[in-house]
Amino acid sequence: MRILDRYIIAEFLKVFAVCLMGFVLVSLLVEIPDKIKLYFRFNPPGGLMLKYFLVKIPGYLFFAVPLAILLGGMLSLLIMARHYEIIAMQAGGVDAIAIAGPVMVLGLAASVAMFVANETVIPWSNRYSEYIQDVEISRKPDRTFFKGDQIWLRTPDSITHISRFDKLDNTLEGVTVIRFDKDYRFEQRIYADKAKWWGNHWVLYGVNLTRKMPDGSFSVQAVPSMQGLLANRPEDFGRVERLAKEMNLTQLGVYIAKMIEEGYQPTRYLVDWHDKIAFPLVCLIMAALSVPFAIRVGPGSGGMALGLAFSIVLAFCYWVVHTVFIALGHGGYVPPIAAAWAANVLFGLFAVILLLHEGT
């Protein structure tokens, strides 16, 4: 490795570390007021709240690293430009692409690290933080789940089985309620294809109702819809649905295959599966975007402020474009692979054009 490359990397890492710690601190300051209501409502031990925020840190880092890469690359090079070091490099025959090389290597390394983290520690962090909030802090009763996302609920006079809960739509799939008397003798079985939450109650659709008559015979009746007998609200099932952020690629792939086998449309999860591959590459793209602007700006005093403003605007634009395409993919308006990769392709091409322009 050239001495110049080592110098650029060292300067970059100094600024990157400061930016990363700053963004994590901002994330904590944003979330702490939102969680104060949990503290006053349930009065958990301070150590438990501290554990919650510590477990959340990997998630904060996952979204802070790309912005820290962008700011670290841009501000470190702007500092060099302010001290006429960029001009000295260019006078020595070092072009923009050569200057960008060390920064892009670090961006690639960050992308690989983000991908590995998204397959290991990030799903654990998301699952465990939800568990701490819902069970240890809010004291909601923990449930036992069988076969992945299937839910079993027990009351003194019934057993309920739910095949799947969709948190976004507040719907239940494959609902079976078996009711019995005080001597645990069968009284009634209700099966519904779907249940939808309407305001303050569940409505069952595609109902098959089986009752035991006084003479011991059974009556079977098909009902288009009926008000459900479930006492649980949607928030009671909040930890049931397996969110994509709580699974790695393999687990999400298995979940998608299971949904297809059971006849459900896994469009939203297909988008999230592709996004798990596409999103970590944002670090490489941000590294590439950080170089051209910093090289173009002269050593004047306004460069740092412009660089900071440009970084924030650029990161915001990427996030908006990425979020819009992901939403379009979830809605089925854009193919899953296109929804996940669209922002990377657009901003990646923009970075390549800028780098080639500065390098010629």
Candidates 81, 68, 79; CA nearest to 18 is 68
Domain contains 77: yes
pLDDT at residue 40 tops 90: no
Average pLDDT, integer, range 204-225:
90
103 and 179 assigned to the same domain = no
pLDDT of residue 276: 95
41: confidence class by pLDDT, cuts 50, 70, 90: confident
How many structural domains comprise the chain? 2
Residues 93-109: tens digit of each pLDDT: 887 788 889 999 999 99
The mean pLDDT value of the chain amounts to: 86
160 and 220 assigned to the same domain = yes
pLDDT of residue 299: 59
122 and 261 assigned to the same domain = yes
Lowest mean pLDDT among 84-93, 110-119, 197-206, 235-244: 235-244
7 and 131 assigned to the same domain = yes
Residues 8-19: tens digit of each pLDDT: 999 999 999 999
Whole-number Å distance between alpha carbons of 123 and 127: 6
Whole-number Å distance between alpha carbons of 118 and 116: 5
Q: How far apart, in Å, are the Cα atoms of 360 and each of 298, 353, 356?
A: 18, 11, 6
Domain contains 243: no
Contact at 8 Å (CB) between 260 and 266? yes
Contact at 8 Å (CB) between 76 and 14? yes
Residue that terminates a domain, selected from 213, 237, 261: 237
Domain that holds residue 231: 144-237
131 and 264 assigned to the same domain = yes
Whole-number Å distance between alpha carbons of 334 and 201: 34
187 and 291 assigned to the same domain = no
Instruction: Report the b/e string of 184-197 with b at 16+ CB within 10 A.
Output: eeeebbbbbebbbb
64: confidence class by pLDDT, cuts 50, 70, 90: very high
Q: Whole-model pTM?
A: 0.74
Average pLDDT, integer, range 295-311:
71
Average pLDDT, integer, range 300-317:
78
pLDDT of residue 277: 95
- For the chain, how long is the longest CA-to-CA vector? 100
Lowest mean pLDDT among 170-174, 225-229, 331-335: 225-229
pLDDT at residue 280 tops 80: yes
Tokens of 243: 């969110």
> What is the CA 60 to chain-centroid distance, rounded?
11
268 and 124 assigned to the same domain = yes
Candidates 131, 158, 103, 124; CA nearest to 284 is 103
pLDDT of residue 298: 58
Whole-number Å distance between alpha carbons of 195 and 221: 18
Domain contains 244: no
